[in-house]
Amino acid sequence: MPNHILGIDTGGTFTDFVVLDAHGRIKRWKVLSSPADPSEAIVRGLMEILGEELPKGMEIVHGTTVGTNAFLERKGAKTVLLTTKGFEDVLFIGRQARPCLYDLYCQKPREVIPRDMILGLGERCNADGKIIKEVEQGELERCLGSIRDAGAESVAVCLLHSYKNPENEEKVGKYLEKHQIKVFLSSRLLPEFREFERTSTTVINAYLGPVVGSYIRSLEERLPGSSILVQQSGGGCRPAKHIEEVAVTTILSGPAGGVLAGLELGRSLGVSHIITFDMGGTSTDVSLCPGRLVFTRDYQIEGFPINLPVIDVHTVGAGGGSIAWIDRGGLLKVGPQSAGADPGPVCYGKGEELTVTDANLFLGRLKADRFLGGRMRLFEDRVKEKMALLADRLGIGPMETALGIIKLVNTNMVQALRRVSIEKGYDPRKFHIVSFGGAAGVHTLDVAEELGVSSVIIPEMAGVFSAQGLAASSLTFEASLSLFWRSDRDNKEKIRKAGQSLEDALLNEASGFISQAAEIKKELFLDVRYLGQSFEIMVPFEKGWQKLFHREHERLYGYCLMDETLEVTSIRLKIRISRGKRGTFFEKTGLDFLKGFKEANPAVFSFESSDIIFKNGAINVPVVDRKDIPEGVLLTGPFLITDNFTTILITAGWQVSRLKGHLLAKKV
């Protein structure tokens, strides 16, 4: 075991830490992020937790937004795309699908690379994998000259039908690598059909690879002797050494850790169906887990598809730092722009634009003297001044303005929760919300009530919960392969052989990380559709997988065709390497939600009272420190719970109790 195991989640506003030392002691911490160089906040936070002399032998699982931010800001590497001649415009044509069918002002996504950075090669492989025309040496030499003239930092290679036969791609890759050009081949990253999705995924990977790689090398230099792993969007972490080759898998790095932890917490409490609700400073990430992780291959970032399985997380620009503004029609809006860590909300002392955090402080839902355990000062007077100015522009009072900001951000988050539940055939009323993130606590119960959810779980370490999930993450290696299998003509041996070839390749890749004590779990998935359909549903390859597909199809689309021919288009394998108990910290207990608990008055445990403004006016409520709430008592709202890394508002009509350190809230 390493002497320290850490989960570090870098967000747009705060960087969160969870540390498990060699004696089993747990520490948690939170510092403002450093957007210009995220590693600065990481090193600063580690020194605050562990001391100026950082210990050697730390194991760090890192959830990073470096790749995501580089893409959104278009600050990736200068990239050239090499593709088959005649297919140079695939990225710009896409699927010709309008994101908003009746929007006359709909705009195309901002380009990732300009058209003059795309070169066509006169090669050809047909759909059966037969090489019709090989890549010519003279053409490769001309491409090399163009790549160097363009000053390219990376090259994406995506040739037609290379998923069937990668021979031409490999020839291009070897030639460029011989001339010290950084190359990313689609046949290595995503050997699957569909040219647009494969091209988009490969280009984004090449665009982000050098940026993510440079950041990781910088972090390794700052933390010599540490073992660094990076969380992937599909769950599980991967050694940082080769993360540059699969940088696109880090797009949802941080949020994935929170979903993994939420699912495990639910299971420890005997709850199978959960919705994770992660509200940080910049965004809110939500995911639905019906007893298992839900994956999607339809994830898009600014209109560009990433055709790799990722945990189905829906993100909206609704966080504590989301900026309140007035549109051209004079209406109040909130987000998606965020004040971030610098300058931050008005109450942090530097920001000039009001945010959701400012509104909560104005309404008394945050305690200025207890923010981050009293480590960070909040400037209430600045907020009052700015709120009065915004209210004047809207023609209403400051109180109505602040309440309006909260109402709008709550509506945005409810829509996100509906997106992952109701719009996908799930009834949210049958689920428990697991609420975490530094900003979630003062919004959770209002959001749950509006969605019709009557039970909420707020983890013990809610303010740094995603970092806790990262610390517990298992090593994961995955790969896929196109496989056109039909139920009316092929036997299952074809699937088994394809799965075995993937397993051999992945075990070889992971061999250096498998110890004798390691537990290896293999998960095989199939992309299945009815013959003639255009898109697939991913189902686990297990006994009765056909029935599982029919059931999932009926849930999603309202019907199934039990007698129709099934077609498997791809097979994908995931190998998880468990490394013992690493930061999960969840005690198993049966949960009968809040039954048998003794009712008590929250004022008995309060250290003060405070005025909180609701839509019907101000109410004086008790303020309770989370650690002072004893296990097994039932407290009825309204009252406020403070914690070093989050604040929780229990509204009227809700009861809450503490169990194994976690807060359980129920609508009454």
Per-domain boundaries in the chain: 4-71+213-250, 74-208, 264-473+592-668, 475-578
What was the pLDDT predicted at 583? 47
Main-chain dihedrals φ then ψ at residue 526, nearest 5 degrees: -120, 140
Q: Once rounded to an integer, what is the mean pLDDT over residues 456-465? A: 94
pLDDT score for 1: 62
Q: Tell me if 183 sits within 8 A of 176, measured CB to CB.
A: yes
Read off the pLDDT of each residue in 313-320 and give the average, rounded to a whole number: 91
Convert the pLDDT of each residue in 66-85 to its tens digit. 998 889 889 999 999 999 99
Q: Residue 554: its pLDDT value, please?
A: 93
Do you find a cis peptide bond into 343, omega within 30 degrees of 0? yes
Residue 462's Cα: distance from chain center in Å? 16
What kind of fold does domain 4-71+213-250 have according to CATH?
Nucleotidyltransferase; domain 5 (3.30.420)
d(C-alpha 464, C-alpha 7), whole Å = 9
The torsion of the CA quartet 150, 153, 159, 162, rounded to 10 degrees, works out to 160
What does the pLDDT read at residue 242? Answer: 85
Sequence-ordered list of residues with C-beta below 8 angstroms from that of 593, at least 6 positions apart, any chain: 455, 664, 666
CB 393: neighbour CB atoms within 10 A?
Answer: 11
Calpha distance 634→594 (Å, rounded): 7
Q: What angle do CA 182, 187, 191 make, to 5 degrees?
A: 145
Lowest mean pLDDT among 99-108, 276-285, 491-500, 559-568: 99-108
Burial of 587 from C-beta contacts in 10 A (0-12 / 13-18 / 19+): exposed
Residue 329: which H helix or E strand, with range? none
Cα(140)–Cα(159) distance, integer angstroms: 14
The per-residue pLDDT for range 633-659, each reduced to its tens digit, is 999 999 999 998 999 999 999 999 998
CATH of span 74-208: 3.40.1360
Helix (H, G, I), strand (E, B) or coil at 142: helix
Which sign does the torsion angle of CA 127, 129, 132, 137 carry? positive
SS3 content of the chain, % helix, strand, coil (to 5): 35, 30, 35
**For residues 506 and 464, what is the distance between their CA atoms, to the nearest angstrom?**
32
CA distance 332 to 390: 9
Residue 584: how many CB atoms within 10 A of its CB? 17
Residue 82 burial (C-beta neighbours within 10 Å; 0-12, 13-18, 19+): buried
At 531, is the pLDDT very low, low, confident or very high (cuts 50, 70, 90)? very high
Determine phi and psi for 632, rounding to 5 degrees: 85, 0
Q: Dump pLDDT digits (tens) for 338-357.
A: 998 889 999 999 999 999 99
Assigned token pair, 615:
């839509």
Q: What's the pTM value of the predicted model, to 2 decimals?
A: 0.90
CATH of the structural domain 475-578, one choice from 3.90.1530, 3.40.50, 1.10.287, 3.30.1490: 3.30.1490
pLDDT tens figures, 599-608: 899 999 999 9
Task: Give which of 296, 271, 560, 246 is closest to 419, Cα–Cα.
Answer: 296
pLDDT at 509 > cutoff 90: no
For residue 66, the one-letter residue type is V
Q: Give the contacts of 239 (CB within 8 A, at least 6 positions apart).
A: 227, 228, 229, 230, 475, 513
- pLDDT of amino acid 656: 94
Distance CA 241, CA 227 (A): 10
Is residue 579 very low, low, confident or very high in pLDDT (cuts 50, 70, 90)?
low
